[in-house]
Amino acid sequence: MAQESVKTIRKQALNERDYGDLSGLNKDDARAKWGEDQVHIWRRSYDVPPPGGESLRDTGARVWPYYMHEIQPHVLRGETVLVAAHGNSLRALIMALDGLTGEDVVSMELGTGVPIVYKLNADSTVASKETL
């Protein structure tokens, strides 16, 4: 069923993390080139970017301001907002909403296509979180 009345906004701030020199390579090719341990560090660490790419912290640096200035005001006005984005963009956003540290977010798993519903208090803190 079409949802013509639903406004869709596309912003680069929610794009997937830039994997730099790892882009276009499958995991096995990357591991063969740089080693399994190094590739794991680049892919899962909070603040170590792959060559020419972004760390999760870098991804958060563009996601968080977009959330605070463009998404959060709608939610605080009582509007429902659906955020559909890539895994690392969502991990960065969840990190901020849940108050996770860089160490916490490294082990956080995020299911593909699994909705998470947040309700906020008037002061923008999380009132509830439900994974559907």
At residue 1, the pLDDT reads 63
pLDDT, tens digit, for every residue of 59-89? 999 999 999 999 999 999 999 999 999 999 9
The pTM assigned to this predicted structure is 0.88
Nearest to 93 by CA among 61, 122, 50, 125: 61
Tell whether the model's pLDDT for residue 92 goes beyond 80: yes
What's the sign of the alpha-carbon dihedral 14, 91, 71, 63? negative
